[in-house]
Copies of this chain bind each other. A is one copy, B any other.
Amino acid sequence: MKKLPGKTVERLSKYRRALLYSFKSGKEHIFSHEIAELLHITSVQVRRDLMLIGYTGTLRKGYDIKELIDKIGIILDTQSGQKVAVIGLGNLGRAFIRYFSGKRTKLSIVAAFDVNPEKINTVYEGVPCYDSERISEIVIREKISIAILTVPVDESNRTADILIRSGIKGILNYTSKALNVPQDVYLEEYDMVTSLEKVAYFAKQ
């Protein structure tokens, strides 16, 4: 299937979580305007997104929640799952591991890396922490395709280069430096300080 718009992909992820929640509470069908309410968006947008992934509802009952969850899974997930590594086991790295621990999804965090000897060879929430020197070895061995980068900013480019040479396919960069990656590596950047400064700007009346 042709690549979907980034914004649609983000919403599909949110639809799925909201739908799982509704399904667990016993609901079987849902209308576009109900999904829209859950996410605080419009029903048109929901229908447009579902049109893009080719899922069709029924006229008076809306969408079959179970079917739609499965359909979104076909779009977002890979059959065999994808392995994720957290680079930098600081607060942010641990936050990620916490969010994912226990959730059995097609994304699994299988390794963390740090330079701190006190963290190396420990296990956090079931995820082993290795010496950062071993990134390349383990990424290749474990076929890890996604990295969450939460290292100090002056290490970010060097670390990204190692990941790229080890065949990583996507990087989620939380360091405040724009990374250089080749075209075939997907890069998503998020800057906590910028987010807070943005809120501060719009919060002053």
Interface residues of A (CB under 8 A from B): 3-4, 6, 9-10, 13-14, 17, 38-40, 75-78, 82, 84, 90-92, 94-96, 98-100, 106-107, 145-146, 148, 169-172, 176, 178, 180, 184-186, 188, 190-205
Residue contact A205 to B169, C-beta cutoff 8 Å = yes
Which of B84, B95, B196 is in CB contact (< 8 Å) with A146? B196
- On chain B, the residues within 8 Å of A192 by CB distance are 95-96, 99
Residue contact B178 to A203, C-beta cutoff 8 Å = no
Question: Smallest Cβ distance from A89 to chain B, in angstroms?
Answer: 10
Question: Smallest Cβ distance from A84 to chain B, in angstroms?
Answer: 7
Residue contact B178 to A199, C-beta cutoff 8 Å = no
Residue contact A82 to B204, C-beta cutoff 8 Å = yes
A96 to B202, CA, bound (A): 19
What are 26 A-B pairs with beta-carbon distances under 8 A? A6-B198, A9-B198, A9-B202, A10-B191, A13-B194, A13-B197, A14-B176, A17-B176, A40-B178, A75-B201, A77-B200, A78-B204, A95-B95, A95-B192, A96-B196, A146-B203, A148-B196, A169-B203, A170-B199, A170-B200, A170-B202, A170-B203, A171-B199, A172-B199, A184-B205, A188-B195
